[in-house]
Amino acid sequence: MNLSTVITFLSIVFLSTVSLLFSGCASESSAPDNPGTISGQFSGVSESTPILLRSFKNGALVKVGGTETDSNGNFSFTPDSPLKKGYHQLILDKRWPVVLITDSTEAPIVTATIPDETGYLSDAEIKGSPTSELLATFYIRLMPLQDSLLIVQKSLQLLSGDAQVAATKSLKTIIAGLDKLSLDFIKQNPESPATLAALENLDPKKNGAAYKAVIKSLSKTFADSHYYAMLKGKYDASISSRTIPNQSPPAKKQTRKNGQFGVGDEALDIVMEDPDGNIRKLSDLRGKVVLIDFWSSWCGPCRRENPNVVRAYNEFNSKGFEVFSVSLDSNKDKWLKAIEKDGLIWPNHVCDLKGWQNVASRAYGISSIPHTVLVGRDGIIVKTHLRGRALDLELEKLLD
């Protein structure tokens, strides 16, 4: 879950502008006049526009303070309780977010002119929080790449032949650029908490050294952060066959990495609500070949894989193929937006909004996503861990 986190901060549109890049670009810190306050000015908004401050806790963003703008767009407030060092989100009118890494010893000042469209603020400026300024240098380079990635992903759904091959090549180039950007940022800022945002874009199995380095460097200064704990948990899961850290093991002894059920096992039924509150049952699809897809809006690799699943659905649905998507989201709006943006047109989408505590994912022993389970017409698992062309080949054997 590497490109876009995590319940986390890559499924949100980040912003900030900078004058320098990476190391050395943060301003020298000095004792703030009003430690613990957050202030600034947003030009182009009406009086009494709401501003919320949310902190990342237990896989979700929780409100920890807020205020409203005055007639000139100015604002200033103190959070409900002193902030602990960590990742926080300042969001204006529920549409324009800024990510801060700060605590009660700093006094961040955020200024920006609000654009006509919803999205990151291209001219936002952060002062009074050096680590937040450094984080901004990463996001200002990340966002154009991420936007390009989503555009190519969407185009893949409509292309075929040589055009699809070219788009796939472009997609791989963008992903390689995202990985390089993240690795370079980590290398140039080895002890900064801002590297956690870059770490989330990387696959821990392919970039274990980067995970290990960041986790070690922040173990004494940032280990209390929920964001740190989440990424450490992801890394731990990638190097062991355990289930999700700090959760009770499933009833059946897990003998397979990331998933206690494998080929030849009967698929455990999943009964959960869809976005409209209707009950969806996996067992209702018996007689069809079904791909159980564990994913989330904040999971970068999941989002990158979605075009492949969409393509397979379009090609094989008429032959008896269905997708049963189980989301590990904790925010319904982000879940629904991801479904719409990625063109996930099948009807079977379920989520209990419990994040990693999702009942179905725990029952299946899932420790990392994306994770897929292909179930035959008789309800018996045929394959697991299918991605890309491997899914097409398996469906061709089963349905053609």
- Averages of pLDDT over each 10 residues, the chain, 400 residues: 36 32 38 83 92 77 91 95 91 86 94 74 81 88 80 74 85 89 95 92 85 93 84 73 38 47 83 88 88 93 90 88 94 93 93 89 86 89 85 84
Answer yes or no: do 312 and 365 share one domain.
yes
Answer yes or no: do 337 and 288 share one domain.
yes
Q: What is the CATH number of the domain that holds 131?
A: 2.60.40.180
Answer yes or no: do 280 and 217 share one domain.
no
Residues 6+ apart with CB under 8 A from 375: 267, 282, 289, 290, 291, 292, 381, 382
Answer yes or no: do 100 and 153 share one domain.
no
* Within-domain flag for 7: no
* Within-domain flag for 30: no
Please list the residues that pair with 101 across neighbouring strands: 87
Answer yes or no: do 275 and 393 share one domain.
yes
Owner of token pair 């999702």: 358
Answer yes or no: do 53 and 103 share one domain.
yes
The predicted structure's pLDDT at residue 152: 81
Q: Are 68 and 75 in contact (CB under 8 A)?
A: yes
The predicted structure's pLDDT at residue 244: 35
The predicted structure's pLDDT at residue 372: 92
The predicted structure's pLDDT at residue 247: 40
**Domain closes at, from 105, 136, 167:** 136
Q: What angle do CA 46, 47, 51 make, to 5 degrees?
A: 90
Query: In the structure encoding, which two tokens stand for residue 66, read together?
Result: 């807020």
Q: What angle do CA 320, 384, 236 make, to 5 degrees?
A: 145
DSSP of 213-282: HHHHHTTTTSTT-HHHHHHHHHHHHHTSS--STTSPPPSSPP-SSS-S--TTSBPPP-EEE-TTS-EEEG
* Within-domain flag for 16: no
Please list the residues that pair with 141 across neighbouring strands: none
- Residue 97 CA, chain-centre distance (Å), reads 15
- Measured CA to CA, the distance from residue 99 to residue 269 in angstroms comes to 40
Classify 54 as helix, strand or coil: strand
The predicted structure's pLDDT at residue 2: 38
Q: What is the CATH number of the domain that holds 355?
A: 3.40.30.10
Q: Which domain holds residue 207?
A: 140-238
Q: Are strands 321-327 and 349-350 parallel, antiparallel or unpaired?
A: parallel
The predicted structure's pLDDT at residue 283: 86
* Within-domain flag for 3: no
The predicted structure's pLDDT at residue 248: 42
